[in-house]
Chain A
């Protein structure tokens, strides 16, 4: 329903563009593709900013066919005239429980390796459209922090009201946690109840997983482990256990892992940070910038519902993160972390056409998402802006005025 409305909108835009151009094109035949014309493209490649001040993006079969300056638009393409609007790759949330309404941990056991939050994903959750209108087109759907091994992390695209299909055939990562939330207590008697228990359980799980053996298990063991650590000691234990087991690690940094702690930890694995809030301390906000200078691949997490990925990035930028670093951390870095490099997260030929059209520079926080496009289809569009008051209401004269000439 919504998508068809979106399509109609796109179509009417295209139609008006066609009419204004005065070209006699047939609107009956299905267009072969979509062209976003007169756009400012901002993307990254290997952490380098790629900016096209005035360009065109061509979309065919859900993929980006071409992007850049002076690209000829084929005759049979639908054209969106975007008058200098900004086009960025859709953002990728590196850790979220969106669509699960906060119910994604099966806490009766501490190790639920095979659990998939994808199975509890609600495509009718209104948070999905909200996230799209914040520029997020794909998420790493992940278990929460309450189990030592929570389950599979799956990257899905945020198509509202549609059952999600994982972007890749295999899972993107396994979620683990050594944070306080995994601990059982008197009212919740489950092993572990102490941090040492959590480490023990995590170590046992790693030894049991067939990292170096061949066969079906080996494929599974090649998947990185996204591990939540809140303190430096938790992070050190997690990372040393993972490297001992020959597993790839992605550190999901908790709020106590601020710049100082991360400097001492000096992680060599990718780090997922955030969400950041307005009131957060400089030491926390500047950790992203510190990781960037160390050359650590960085991604952002919204941590769940209603948190804005872009705000986290902008707060990190205010604390020193570069523009290229922020954009990469929102797009190509998470794609790479989850083995999807080149498939999503960039505006370049061959990548999926997951594009977001912004009214201006998103990093000012004063630009809004006008269209979110997933694989060439409009997944969400912004509601119309409230109209400013008319300064002078036209008064109806009681009698028609007679003007003497």
Chain B
């Protein structure tokens, strides 16, 4: 693919933000974090507010609307933010910035982003990319929870319980979100919900036991992943007072 120019380096002074449109039409915000240029999604993952209007101190970006915050270097959510920033790698050539390769669902994933690259590569070799049409069922209650999934594109809905007693159990819509994580727990848990595609969707399917094997070989990464998994599970158990 042809190089897609985003902006001139001089357009984004140090510790400032600028909304840009890359050649070919992708809107993104470019941040200059102490001389390092970082590209990320143009609107807040919360409520479609332009992030170029946010507050930026050279490291932390705050959306002015509801005070969601991120570390722009990692895209990691801070404080009350519920979702990471989707980032677009930038390459600098001379006085211009270009879009680099796109990050994969694993790279941006809430469990895996920022892990060392050799561990990420091993996990990537375990990942099978699957495409499912709208309406497809990925699993149902009682199925053994052997694999977990990382959403790449589309939308997945969960129903907890069986048959006409099933109740909505939430949904996933962001690239990098992880579901079916029971596969990362001890024993051989069974699914408690069904997972159905609400749109044509693509996911990475990863065997839980094999992934745990990779993480055992890199305990630092394994610790990070388990900490994030604990936070993810706690988010489903939390009450509003936790805010």
A binds B: no
Interface set of A (CB-CB < 8 Å, partner B): none
